[in-house]
Amino acid sequence: MGEFSKVERDGRILTVTIDRPEVLNALHAPAHRELAGVFDDFAADPDLWIAIVTGAGDRAFSAGNDLKYQAAGGDRSNQPASGFAGLTFRYDLNKPVIAAVNGLSMGGGFEIALACDIIVAAETAVFALPEVRVGLAALAGGLHRLPRLIGTKQAMGMILTGRRVTAAEGAAMGFVNEVVPAGEALAGARRWANQILEVSPMSVRASKEAVYRGLDHASLEEAIAGSYPAVEEMKRSADYVEGPLAFSEKRAPQWSGR
């Protein structure tokens, strides 16, 4: 248990709850540092294969940057290199991360969700990048991730106005994977996590790395020919043998993640 977050282990799944409900789970520098440590530990732990991120209470996933803390001159030093919530600039994490968006997902809060691989949103969730309304810009990745996910025109419609988008519209745009009833975002995210646990974690990490690194290449040919260390690790792993063996023996595979 941290001061600004709650962490729960359930087998291979780590659930991280942003725990500042009194400010709609907005984040300040101390919270960023704490969460960076949480995700550092997750990345380094071979027994944890998937992370879920959510917010405390039923009103907000995260309202983003704690503007009142900033306006009051709160300490903003020693910000983690891994970015907002210790996640938005973490480019080398091949383990999947799922956002369980239970309410408001605004500014940096939306950027946290965009940094995740899958977004499960309650039907009451609302998304926005409202930084332009307070003289700021969505510099924790939102300006770059959102256009890559939904196309430039749709993204600019959100970015230049700061307008709010419902979960249903987010699904139609393509940045929300699933909309679930109010109060069921975390349950929905756990369902997705359990589906991922059915498959090879080595294959999952190789696939995640290849997708994101491949998008950095200018052409399809370059992406396919690219070098992906996690793919080589997959090919050397016990799981690379176990999968075909289990298939041939008509049994469920026993994944080791190694």
Note the pLDDT tens digit of each residue in 219-248. 999 999 999 999 999 999 999 999 999 999
Confidence band for 28, pLDDT divided at 50, 70 and 90: very high
Residue type, 66: D
The domain of 9 spans: 5-197
Q: Are 161 and 216 contained in the same domain? A: no
Please give the backbone phi and psi of residue 251, each rounded to the nearest 5 degrees, phi first.
Answer: -140, 165
Q: Does residue 145 form part of some domain? A: yes
Residues 193 and 218 grouped into a single domain: no
Structural domain includes residue 52: yes
Instruction: Assess whether 171 and 222 both reside in one domain.
Output: no
pLDDT digits (tens, 9 = 90+) for 116-131: 999 999 999 999 999 9
Please give the pLDDT value at position 73.
72
**Structural domain contains residue 36:** yes
> What percent of the chain stands above pLDDT 90?
94
- Of 134, 165, 140, give the one whose Cα is nearest residue 150: 165
257 located within any domain: no
Sequence-separated (6 or more) residues with CB below 8 Å from residue 179: 121, 122, 123, 125, 167, 168, 170, 171
Residue 19, both tokens: 């725990």
Last residue of a domain, one of 154, 178, 197: 197
Q: Of 172, 197, 222, which closes a domain?
A: 197
Mean pLDDT of 12-32: 97
pLDDT tens digits along 84-119: 999 999 999 999 999 999 999 999 999 999 999 999
- For residues 157 and 39, state if they share a domain: yes
134 and 233: one domain? Answer: no
User: What is the per-residue pLDDT for 74?
Assistant: 66
Q: What is the mean pLDDT of residues 12-39?
A: 97
**Which of the four pLDDT bands, split at 50, 70 and 90, describes residue 78?**
confident
Check whether residue 165 and residue 225 sit in a common domain.
no
Instruction: Assess whether 158 and 232 both reside in one domain.
Output: no
Contact, 109 vs 224, CB < 8 A?
no
pLDDT above 70 (res 52): yes
CA nearest neighbour of 110 among 131, 134, 93, 124: 131
Catalytic site residues?
111, 131
For residue 132, the domain's CATH number is 3.90.226.10
Question: 77 pLDDT exceeds 90?
Answer: no
Query: Are the CB atoms for 102 and 125 separated by under 8 Å?
Result: yes
Q: 75 pLDDT exceeds 80?
A: no
In terms of domains, do 167 and 211 share one?
no
Query: Does one domain contain both 48 and 88?
Result: yes
Q: Is residue 255 part of a domain?
A: no
In a domain, 240, yes or no: yes
Rounded to a whole number, what is the largest CA-CA distance in the chain? 64
Listed residues 197, 213, 229: the one ending a domain: 197
pLDDT score recorded for residue 70: 76
Mean pLDDT of 188-196: 98
What is residue 27's three-state secondary structure?
Answer: strand
Question: Over the chain, what is the mean pLDDT?
Answer: 96
User: What pLDDT score was predicted for residue 79?
Assistant: 86
Same domain, 132 and 225: no
- Same domain membership, residue 48 and residue 21: yes
- Residues 90 and 19 occupy one common structural domain: yes
Q: How confident is the model at residue 171 (pLDDT cuts 50, 70, 90)?
A: very high
pLDDT at residue number 29: 93
Give the global pTM.
0.96
Buried residues in 192-201 as b, exposed as e (16+ CB within 10 A): bbeebeeebb
Closest CA to 255 of 10, 47, 45: 47
- Residue closest to 131 by CA, chosen among 179, 64, 198: 64
Instruction: Report yes or no: 129 and 161 within 8 Å, Cβ to Cβ.
Output: no
Query: Number of structural domains, the chain?
Result: 2
pLDDT, average across residues 25-41:
97
